[in-house]
Structure 1
């Protein structure tokens, strides 16, 4: 009997703040980071190496040690488990972690502990799909409808979507699975990009990157907004001049505004005919999003900081959003994201997955592709975010061509980091951070006394 022999964690951070990659109105200097988790087993692979499952939780620097510690807290729930039992009942495994009566007090089902559960759950799905020799999107897409609904925790959802309704939707979608899988493999999945639009970039860099994005095939570009209306108007005009009339522009305020301020600001930007406004206010304010949506012409979106399936349910019930961003590492892993995708199908809400962070492109592409094949049965007016940062650190980085994600072919979910990258970027002992500390100390010594 093969078992889980270890749950290992690392605090991995990348100094993206040096060039303001990822900068926005609320997060001006992020260091993209991963609380990294590895589930080790004693099951041998064809190469003789033990089979492992990989997961991560995305943070933006300070606090990544807290997130890593939360992951480690779950070791006692996982180490010693039978690999076959775990991977054959991923719904049960998810409920095993979320059901801890003492850890649940730290949420319930939200915050650092819930994201840690999501990281371990994702590592378990990575392990299961590696065992099956399939990329995760295909592993999910080839599950039958009953298996898919068994992955979901239906508690708190039945007033909006029952297990029976979900089963009927999945059975309806099953009819065209083979054709959609073939379409996905031949065309890929649409992407949009945020890479040109970070708030800390100069006007010249914004214009240049917008032009390059269009040349690379992107039809939607997202800009960060919210610090200065004057700056936002100028930057949107620069972007529009760079891309021409045939490319959509979207904006993201990263929770910067109160409700009234969001309405006033977005009315001032309305002439740009924006594809959506993302996170215009607090991610917890369902009614605030609904009020904003009623008051502006731009479609409203949120989701990357939405804690769990219950909050998504409320966003849908309140008619607070036109589209959502799911996040592979924010909620309770693949299982809870499947619940959210089923809710989105029920309420007819479009899904534009969030991927602005280390490893998020690698992970969330699988969810979008599985959704197309097995759940929503649509790629119409949908796209996965793409940012051109840090993919070189992964053993199976995303593949993009013509503004579209190409379906992964390697087994697993794509979270495995290169061993050298882990060693060099482990905080604070990795060489990248030792050099950074030495540079800071040298600079401080050279500054004159005041």
Structure 2
């Protein structure tokens, strides 16, 4: 074995439970998740030459330890591998994680095992970017269409998009690519804010934050709904009074309604002209979403969903059933970049806009790369598309996302923007981090070790 190959051997796979006490301020609160502590399972893949790749899966506090354990259970599949061999046949490697003959029983390709898969896969993409000294969006855009396709497992989706069709879409996306890269580097990619719309915020805080983001150049805002209709009407009135009707408003119910309830509720909110209702019902109910989409079409309200969509197969069904008009991929809910690329290809073929979900720990950092690749090398447009931005936890990353005039600016550092600062890890690793020790001592949280 060549020395270079030995240097590229994976010698360690480490995983940490990292949590932030966002429930103290109701940051991230919605009708379903009333007291979230934004957290992540944070994976580090180390090579013999000292290079490290970092990846993560966003979680909501309790239960992060379960994802951490799943990563540990899967790590034997990565340990000892020559990392370049993984990249040469990435689709096969991806399938080895998702189809591990015993662990797949507690999935398959959904839930905890898929969240763990995403964290590992995201770390491997970060590592690939660092090896090639490119940000991941650029790495993806520079891959030849045939090579890009080699990272995707097309099993179960060929009745929506075949490999040959995907290759043609990617070849078409090569035209004008360099011009779009220039536009991206100059202007960035448009985003919207959810920061003024958390359900647990008092009116005064909503008013203050809406004005703040308006002043920063935002024209697209999202507000959480679904717990109390009268409160929702007041909150939408409040936001519209600040942003006016020449700017865009979306609403998000985070899965709390029955199908008919969603239709009836949204008829009451239709006067506020929302562009979309996000996650109106169970994230698995394809036909329910289709029914809602059909009923709300006369009111000019679209359906958006996908942040809790568990794999490419469910996305395929949503697209085939015309159950969503805005496809919301999440960088860690399904199995990392490899699987997300298949969803972008299906959405492109079906003429559906992708507007990624973001906001949790590291999600903004990751999805910016995905949407920038789509703009540069697949859809070729940002028209009618926008990426979520939530302004929290970015300070814990070495290369946090940068927003200027309500646009994500293209990352220039190598990797997937997923490396956390050592001091943040020391403070917020659960339950032994210094900040957690301090909060336990103050009685703000129960110490699980007691």
The two structures have a TM-score, normalised by structure 1, of: 0.96
Please point out which of 420, 424, 429 is paired with 2:427: 424
SS of alignment partner, residue 55 of structure 1: strand
Is the contact between residue 251 and residue 274 of structure 2 (CA under 8 Å) also seen in structure 1? yes
Q: CA offset at residue 378 of structure 1?
A: 1.2
1:448 corresponds in structure 2 to none
Q: CA offset at residue 443 of structure 1?
A: 11
SS of alignment partner, residue 154 of structure 2: coil
Is the contact between residue 290 and residue 323 of structure 2 (CA under 8 Å) also seen in structure 1? yes
**Unpaired segments ≥5 residues, structure 2:** 1-5
SS of alignment partner, residue 8 of structure 1: strand
1:75 maps to 2:75: yes
When the two structures are aligned, how many residues end up with a matched partner? 438
Aligned pairs for 1:388-407 (under 5 A) are: 388-407=391-410
Is the contact between residue 90 and residue 125 of structure 1 (CA under 8 Å) also seen in structure 2? no
**Unpaired segments ≥5 residues, structure 1:** 44-49, 445-450
SS of alignment partner, residue 274 of structure 2: coil
SS of alignment partner, residue 48 of structure 2: strand
Is the contact between residue 225 and residue 251 of structure 1 (CA under 8 Å) also seen in structure 2? yes
Residue 442 to residue 238, structure 1, CA distance change in 2 (3 Å): closer
1:6 corresponds in structure 2 to 12
Q: Distance in 1 between matches of 2:79 and 2:411?
A: 29
Is the contact between residue 439 and residue 445 of structure 2 (CA under 8 Å) also seen in structure 1? no
Aligned pairs for 1:36-435 (under 5 A) are: 36-43=42-49, 50-296=50-296, 297=299, 298-435=301-438
Q: Distance in 2 between matches of 1:203 and 1:227?
A: 16
Q: CA offset at residue 182 of structure 1?
A: 1.1
Q: Deviations over 1:218-266 (max 9, x none)?
A: 1110000000000000010110111122211101000010001000000
Q: Deviations over 1:351-380 (max 9, x none)?
A: 110002011000111000011111111110
Q: Deviations over 1:31-66 (max 9, x none)?
A: 0001110001112xxxxxx10010011011000111
Is the contact between residue 90 and residue 152 of structure 2 (CA under 8 Å) also seen in structure 1? no
2:28 corresponds in structure 1 to 22
Report runs of 4+ in structure 1 exceeding 6 Å deviation: 441-444
SS of alignment partner, residue 269 of structure 1: helix
SS of alignment partner, residue 67 of structure 2: helix
Is the contact between residue 90 and residue 124 of structure 1 (CA under 8 Å) also seen in structure 2? no
Q: Distance in 2 between matches of 1:91 and 1:185?
A: 30
Q: CA offset at residue 441 of structure 1?
A: 7.5
Is the contact between residue 115 and residue 334 of structure 2 (CA under 8 Å) also seen in structure 1? yes
SS of alignment partner, residue 58 of structure 1: strand
Is the contact between residue 396 and residue 420 of structure 2 (CA under 8 Å) also seen in structure 1? yes
The two structures have a TM-score, normalised by structure 2, of: 0.96
Q: CA offset at residue 276 of structure 1?
A: 0.6
Q: Distance in 2 between matches of 1:186 and 1:214?
A: 22
